Structure 1
Amino acid sequence: IGISRTPMREALQCLSQDGYITIIPSKGFMIRQLNEKDMKDSIQIRCAIEGFCTTVIASQTDTKEGKELLRSLKMILDNMEEALNSDALEDFIYYDHQFHLLIVNYLHNDEFNQIFQRLLYLIHLTSQDALSTEGRIQGTVDEHLAYYNALKEGDGQKAYNIMIEHLMMPLKVHEKVREKKSEKK
């Protein structure tokens, strides 16, 4: 492709660090596939980060920055509903990610933001997998709305519980799919 090996190696190293590819020693690389361990690991990290962020946000919903976050979350919820009604799955996933990014970015914690950015590819794969299950798109909207309402009402514990349950949902969906496949055998 007209470039030397060093920049190519560096680019592949960056793609590997960001989780897009898996480097296979002495063979090359392959696009990273979603497996159960990666899904579980990324969801646990998200629970830790977004759960903590929710606790902080809930204590600040009456501040100027907290009220602005609530307005932004509501706008994204409206966009999600619009994408849901137009059957635009990629748009829906985009707004779903924006919803969660707002929560993580609220703390202005560079480490949280970097970890979350590195997880985005796995989050995207997990979202596509979970949302392909019947009823999960509407379930996601309902969960986001319940989370938003709990924050708006100042119920941090309820918001936290909703967020953790919401983030764990892809594992439950994956488990149900696996059970159905084993029943067919």
Structure 2
Amino acid sequence: MARLEYDENENLVNSLRGKVFNQLRKQILTGVYKPGDSLIELRLSEELGVSRTPIREAIRQLELEGLVQSIPNKGVIVKGVSEQDVEDIFIIRTMIEGLAARWAAEKITEEEIKELQEALEFEEFYTMKNDAQHLMTYDSRFHDIIFRASKSRPLMHMLSTFHFYIQSARNNSFETPGRPAKSFDEHRAIFEAIKNKDGDTAEKLTIQHITNASKNFNETHHK
């Protein structure tokens, strides 16, 4: 496992704590560490090439986020993201992501419109190539640009976190036959609405897009 790199000019305590937290969170969310696995400070310290202090601080933060649990006499156990968590996130996204699209339609800059179009063009290319890994990248970029274009920091932070937490579920959706092409068509319609400054349509289409993604998740996980 790669050791952490850091800029010596940064505040090392804060920098290392953040880097360790981000790396461990990513490894939990992508399944490197699975529910029930133990996180052992000494082993993590050796793997990441840092002292146990930032490891301990990162684990405390992971516990606050509900991704791990400290159990007496057992240590730190990975909880991860449950299927119920994913379903809840989809429902919450259905309620608030439409607002981000509406605000983006009202506040997006010309430069952001170009960025959105470019992300969409790459998404179309990789949809035709059936390349799930690159599709994931440009799908995330498409949504991130909309979040940024909403000009709302709380909304942007919340939705970006949600996207990150359901990364595994989103990966699986791109491997569902037919879903990438449908997702691209939905994105293209959302883009046109935002480009035309049509907040009502952008919001409705986004809500439908998230609803479709949620249905796809439920269908693939309840077969």
Measured against the shorter chain, the TM-score band is 0.7 to 0.9
| 8 Å contact from structure 2 (residues 122, 138) kept in 1 | yes
1:23 aligns with 2:66: no
1:10 aligns with 2:57: yes
Larger Rg: 2
**TM-score of the pair, normalised by structure 2:** 0.67
Structure-2 change in CA distance of 1:128 and 1:45 (3 Å): same
Cα deviation 1:115-151 (Å, max 9, x = unaligned) = 2343233231221132222111111101000111222
* Cα distance in 2 for residues equivalent to 1:8 and 1:71: 41
Q: Which residue of 1 aligns with 2:150?
A: 107
| 8 Å contact from structure 1 (residues 151, 159) kept in 2 | yes
Question: Unaligned stretches of 5+ in structure 1?
Answer: none
* Aligned with residue 165 of structure 2, among 116, 122, 125: 122
Q: Which residue of 1 aligns with 2:27?
A: none
3-state SS of paired residue (1:59): helix
**What percent identity do the matched residue pairs reach?**
25
- Bigger RCO of structures 1 and 2 (CA < 8 A, at least 6 apart): 1
Structure-2 change in CA distance of 1:68 and 1:50 (3 Å): farther
Structure-2 change in CA distance of 1:87 and 1:134 (3 Å): closer
Structure 1 residue 51, shift from structure 2 partner: 1.4
**TM-score of the pair, normalised by structure 1:** 0.79
Cα deviation 1:91-128 (Å, max 9, x = unaligned) = 11011011111111123333223323432332312211
Q: Which residue of 1 aligns with 2:19?
A: none
Structure-2 change in CA distance of 1:68 and 1:47 (3 Å): farther
AA aligned to 1:140 is S
Q: Which residue of 2 aligns with 1:57?
A: 104
1:166-185 matched pairs, under 5 angstroms: 166-177=209-220, 181=223
User: RMSD of the TM alignment (CA)?
Assistant: 2.4
* Aligned with residue 143 of structure 1, among 179, 182, 186: 186
Cα deviation 1:14-55 (Å, max 9, x = unaligned) = 344566x322523322262441x2112222333344211222
More helix per residue: 1 or 2? 1
* Cα distance in 2 for residues equivalent to 1:111 and 1:153: 25
* Cα distance in 2 for residues equivalent to 1:96 and 1:112: 18
> How many residue pairs are counted as aligned between the two chains?
174
Structure-2 change in CA distance of 1:135 and 1:24 (3 Å): farther
Question: Unaligned stretches of 5+ in structure 2?
Answer: 1-44
AA aligned to 1:104 is F
Structure-2 change in CA distance of 1:120 and 1:90 (3 Å): same
Structure-2 change in CA distance of 1:165 and 1:17 (3 Å): farther
| 8 Å contact from structure 2 (residues 103, 151) kept in 1 | no
